[in-house]
Chains A and B, each alone.
Chain A
Amino acid sequence: MDKFVIIGNGVAAAGCIEGIRSTGNKGKITVISAEKHGVYCRPLISYYLEDKTDTERMKYRDDGFYEENNCDVIYAEAVKIDKKNSSVILDNGETVPYSKLCVAAGSSPFIPSFDGIETVEKKFSFMTLDDALTLKKELSSDKDVLIIGAGLIGLKCAEGIYGKVRSITVCDLADRILSSILDEDCAKIMQSHLESRGIKIMTGDSAVRFEGKKAVMKSGKTVEFDILVIAVGVRPNTSLIKDIGGNVNRGIAVGSNCETSVENIYAAGDCTECTDISDGKSKVIAIMPNAYIQGFTAGVNMAGGNAEFDNAVPMNSIGFFGLHAMTAGSYGGSMYEEKSEGRIKRLFTENDRLTGFMLIGYTERAGIYTSLIREKTPLSSLDFDALRNVADFTSFPAESRRHSFGGEV
């Protein structure tokens, strides 16, 4: 009888469970969950602060999910994989034997060392539901908040607590906000939108030293705060594989079948890295769609099926105060741009392919562009001059359009 073990209890784990069961395999599944919650939608923690959702609605799957899929959940941390005995050793001393293992351990917030950080009383990461629950208790209208890191997590946190605190300051060492997904011009548009809401943004600057409720910045400025949120970045949790000699770069290296270099061990989600189809480079693509699909792929293969995931594209859809940004792929090659007040569209093409885009405001039907990247559609096969202007199917050849809407897809 197969003994499936999944380390981690996030979306990749849920994908893995559903992947295993999709094959009809009824083998026992054990999930090792470091967090004391069922699988929930981690990116929703900012929406939780905003009261747009609650812990009940944040559940990624219904309460009966584990039972219906015949899964045991152990709430403990996996500290080590015993390759020789094919088992996982937990922090409570238990060992869990596996025939196939999936490492879906996710990532952890990276906390740089700041001088005097120990003097800060109220400091938080913003990654897990528990982070959000504890942070929420501290929020009140007489508090000033400093967020270190103007990336996706830091800014979503800012939006989440907006209106519930007196002031929000976000700083980032990079020269722009959302530097991982936006270029300078696009970042500027989003930054002024955020600033119009009264959020203070300091780019090219970050705290170097803390003295209680005061941060001394690299520029020499000081920022007073009551609550500190550190959202500098995350690091994939790779040590379990690294420790047993598996291939690890920035993330755990996996093939398109999501298998690691270690026999019978698979990996999925934010702890892995995989090939970005838009530029062919191997990278950590820590986004939820990826996590689920990798988990599902790993699950199918663990159960003896045959699945491949070979068209990962980094992408993000993120909105702040009603202004939405969508990005995908990589930003090389030549650029097409469309712009109007507070909105921008940038499409990047290379070798007759769409390789990436940044859209702020112009987000209607953006999936049509994403699909061009994912499918590597030759742009010469359609009327791209029209398509780049309006994302719809009139620019596609009639045959493919008829298949899309008059056929089975």
Chain B
Amino acid sequence: MSVEFLYPEFEVIRNSDRCIACRVCERQCANEVHSFDPARGIMKSDESKCVNCQRCVSLCPTRALKIVKTDCTLRENCNWQNDTIREVYKQSNSGGVLLSSMGNPKPMPVYWDKMLINASQVTNPPIDPLREPMETKVFLGKKPGKIEKDKDGNIINNMPPQIELTMPVMFSAMSYGSISYNAHASLARAAEELGIIYNTGEGGLHEDFYKFGKNTIVQVASGRFGVHEDYLNAGAAIEIKMGQGAKPGIGGHLPGEKIVGDISRTRMIPEGSDAISPAPHHDIYSIEDLRQLVYSLKEATEYKKPVIVKVAAVHNIAAIASGIARSGADIIAIDGFRGGTGAAPTHIRDNVGIPIELALAAVDSRLRDEGIRNNVSLIAGGSVRSASDVVKAIALGADACYIATAALLALGCHLCRTCQSGRCNWGIATQKPELVKRLNPDIGSQRLVNLMNAWRHEIKEIMGGMGINSIEALKGNRLMLRGIGLNSKELEILGISHAGE
């Protein structure tokens, strides 16, 4: 205590007029915040353990609970703010690297919110999506540069392998291990029902999910966990993970205690061994090296699967993307710095990388300028939060978006940002069987389907308003965007005019 003491961040407020002491809060809190005092017949709380995941609040049948941010105040100032002071205290206590989960919470600019979408008035009519067809289907992959004909004049089908999506949204990579079996089952089932794609992440593909292959992207990351021939051939596409928006330049570390049973089998590593994904791919130090891996994977899959290269959005992303586009990759996925993670060093998550909006615009412009835009499709990820974010991303030049945090929210995640503890009360970021079972994929997949269907409706409405009836016609159509409150450099990079212009 004394100098080590940190006042709890949250307080549990229990309305004793409503509490019926049913103890559901106690049973549902893996952090053991709540307890029952049999002598007094009342519930008690130890808020020092509370992470504000809202599980107890959500399940309390009488709405007797709420969690509030404590108003116990440190003497902060504009420079030394509460979080900064607390971090120093924590590190002085522990001597360790601070770990965090999910996306960057800092007040960095969110460019999605500084761009406005156009609508048709008078001179060109809007389209009513309830009355007229509206195409949300997209194909991802390299597009052929020219039409080839055989000696009889028939067109030769020279289309490289493509990913077909019913809407321009995919669930991005989250490994089995970082999230639970039931979370994967929910994503896989929803992707199948929606006609979109989910992504295995770097943890391999559980044998139960091979049947969802046509809705699966299998990932090959620096640890090569769970990679084998059947795995590569199981999915609709292969993704080489070079980096992740939340922690560019950093590898991954799934501690040995989480490598149990199915996870060890799926990752193809012994139970109890740490799963360490190195920061670099040890065989990739150049675009030429990357090209070798791309073609190794294409060889292994007989050139039937598109290959995606996923990189974090960093400073010279445009040049990097240009290199990738020339490496033989079919698709480039760019992950912005607000993207989520199961665990990352806090200061890397919060300070490394650049926003997806700027990276996407820069890459799209660069590839166009170099005349190689059609060599690849572009996927934008790293905090795409809504249908309007998707529409803006497409207009900036993306072919499709990756979403993960929004998908987890649909599954019940309350963004408590303590995935690294392994005690996810919503059964998502945990491998404890008693917690994993809290996520019933019947419910989870239905909620994902609901969310995506809602977005699809909204995307159609927004496109209709612009007088656009297909995603293809929206793609890279930056005239549909205007900046608000942005400086001229930002507008220049985004390639858009300011509102009013």
Contact between chain A and chain B defined by CB under 8 Å: no
